[in-house]
Structures are given as C-alpha cells and as structure tokens.
Amino acid sequence: MSGRSPVRVDSVRPDAAGVAETAAAALWADAEEAPLVVRRLADPPGGRRWTALATPDLDGVVLTSVGGVVDGGGVAGHVDLLAVHPGAQGRGVGRALVTAAEEWLRAQGATEARFAGNPPCYGWPGIDVRYTPAACLAESLGYERYRIAWNMTADLPVSAEAEDAADLARLAAAGVAVRPAPAGERTAVADFVRRQWNDAWAWEAEQAEGCHYAERDGEILGFAAWGSRPMWFGPMGTAEAARGLGVGRVLLRRCLDDQAAAGQRSAQIGWVGPIRFYSRAVAARVERVFWLYRRPLG
C-alpha cells in the first residue's frame, strides 16, 4: 500500500466549459491559448459529447470526449487534455483524473480509451515523447502505444521567390489559378474538402485564420489552411486528378507567407504524412513527435 490519501475528482458540469477554462488557463504553460482550446473542445461540430473533471482546488483537470469508431466496431473515447499543477505532481492526481475520465467514458458507451486527438477539436494529438511522466502514466495504466504522429517546424519567412515564380508559371500554363478564400466565403471550399476528405477537415478549413485554394475552370483542385489551431499550418489537400502539378507547394507557401505577415517566426505543420515534401518545399524539420496510446474499456 502506498499510504496515499484518495484524490477526489469532481465533474464540473453544468458549467464545464467555464471551470475547465479557468483550470486549463491556470495550468497551461501558454495560458492565452488555453481558453481557445477549451472553447473549441466545448463546442465541437456534430454535438460531440464531452465533459471536464477536476480536483476541488483545480490543481488538476482532465477534458474527455466520445467520438469516432474503433477498429472492428465500438466507440472511441478520448483524453483530450490532462494537466496537473507542478506542485501537485507525484501525489496520484493524474492517475485519479484518468480513472475518473474512463468511468465517464464507459457510462457514455465508449469501448476504448485513447490518449490521442479527437478531431477536429482536441487539446493534444497524443503524448509528446518529451513528456516522460505522461508516457509513464499511460503505460502504468495499461495503455499500449499504437501509432506515432509527427509535427514539423518551418522557420518564417520562407525564402522561395524563385520557386514560387516557377511553380506559378507551370500552374498558369495548366490553366490553374490560386486564390485566397476569405473568412465567411468558404462554402465552396468546405464542400470540396468534405467530398474529398472528411467533415473534420472541412470544419477546420472554415474555422481557420487563413485559407487558399486552387481552381481551374471553376473547379476546385486543392486547398490549404492555417490557424485552425494557434500557430499551426494545415490541413492541406490536393484532388488526386491534380497531383503532380505543384499545387500543394504554392498553397503551402501562400499560407506560410500569411503566417509570417501575422508576426509568426515559425509554423507548426501538424500530423505530417509526407515528411520529404515539406522538407524540400520549405526546409521544414521534424521537431515534435507524439505517441498515441489506447486501451480497451472492459
């Protein structure tokens, strides 16, 4: 026996968003980001179910939600955000919060719990490999690592004027134009993204600070967005029929130029698939790596 006193965890509904925002702002290193993340977790598309659980004195908080289907059927539950004040660490607060989150997820019908992002609204995409205590906590609770997510960083501004000119000339020769999509005027872009990919990306494109798209004869061929998460680039995609034209490179650089103009000195490119593409296009480098964990909820 450890001799520790049990840690009390309370559900903070019906004012979950308000209390979670207060707790997250107090605990998060970048408190200015915390309220935005909590608001988006609290009001996701599709009415996703979520709750916030916290210790009575708010030295620990967990946000958890239900959404998605697991392999072979069943419902996925997510630990969207877990934070424990440094002064309260080592007392079992994190373990108690995760256990309470799992109990809530079971009651909501979840068959699996994940330390992974529940797109399109999540506080983290997984456990940063540098956060050793969080990885130890997950593994001690029986979670298995099942995937790795990569983030790349691009320094801003990007010096690619010659490459831009060459790519734009090739696109013009192919009849392709690249245009901005101002906020409030993205219905066609969102519809394109929804048809080609999914609702989550469409929502991110609509919510993003900036968005650009490529079109030919009135048909959208590709898009790129930035700022759907603070400081991040993405999502981005090109229709299969238009791949190989250089659409992605131009859209990427347009967005990074916007981010540089907004005062950013670097941009996070989240959940990267084609590492080589970003490395060659804008000299991006792999900088953050996340482990995704899961375990069945019996």
Contact criterion met (CB below 8 Å) for 138 and 293: yes
pTM for the whole structure: 0.81
Alpha helices in 158-246 (DSSP H): 161-173, 187-196, 199-207
Q: Which of 293, 298, 296 is nearest to 138 (CA)?
A: 293
What distances in angstroms separate CA 230 from CA 119, 204, 214, 226, one per listed residue?
15, 12, 24, 9
Q: Which of 282, 216, 274 is nearest to 254 (CA)?
A: 282
The CATH H-level superfamily of 157-264 is Gcn5-related N-acetyltransferase (GNAT) (3.40.630.30)
Evaluate if residue 285 carries a pLDDT over 50.
yes
Per-residue confidence at 294, pLDDT binned at 50, 70, 90? very high
Buried b (16+ CB within 10 A) or exposed e, 48-68: bbbbbbbbeebbbbbbbbbbb
Residue-level pLDDT at 111: 96
Question: CA–CA separation, 201 vs 205, rounded Å?
Answer: 6
Q: What's the chain's average pLDDT?
A: 86
Residue-level pLDDT at 125: 84
Residue-level pLDDT at 31: 47
Residue-level pLDDT at 5: 43
Beta strands 232-238 and 266-269, pairing class: parallel
Q: With respect to CATH, is domain 10-148+291-296 assigned 3.40.630.30?
A: yes
DSSP string of 117-178, one letter each residue: --TTS-S-SSEETT-HHHHHHHHHTT-EEEEEEEEEEEESS---HHHHHHHHHHHHHTT-EE
Least confident of 6-15, 33-42, 46-55, 233-242: 6-15
Q: pLDDT for 50-100, tens place per residue?
A: 888 888 888 888 889 998 888 888 999 999 888 888 888 889 999 999 999
Evaluate if residue 38 carries a pLDDT over 90.
no
Handedness of CA 284, 294, 128, 261 (dihedral sign): positive
Contact criterion met (CB below 8 Å) for 108 and 77: yes
For the chain, residues classed under CATH 3.40.630.30 are 10-148+291-296, 157-264
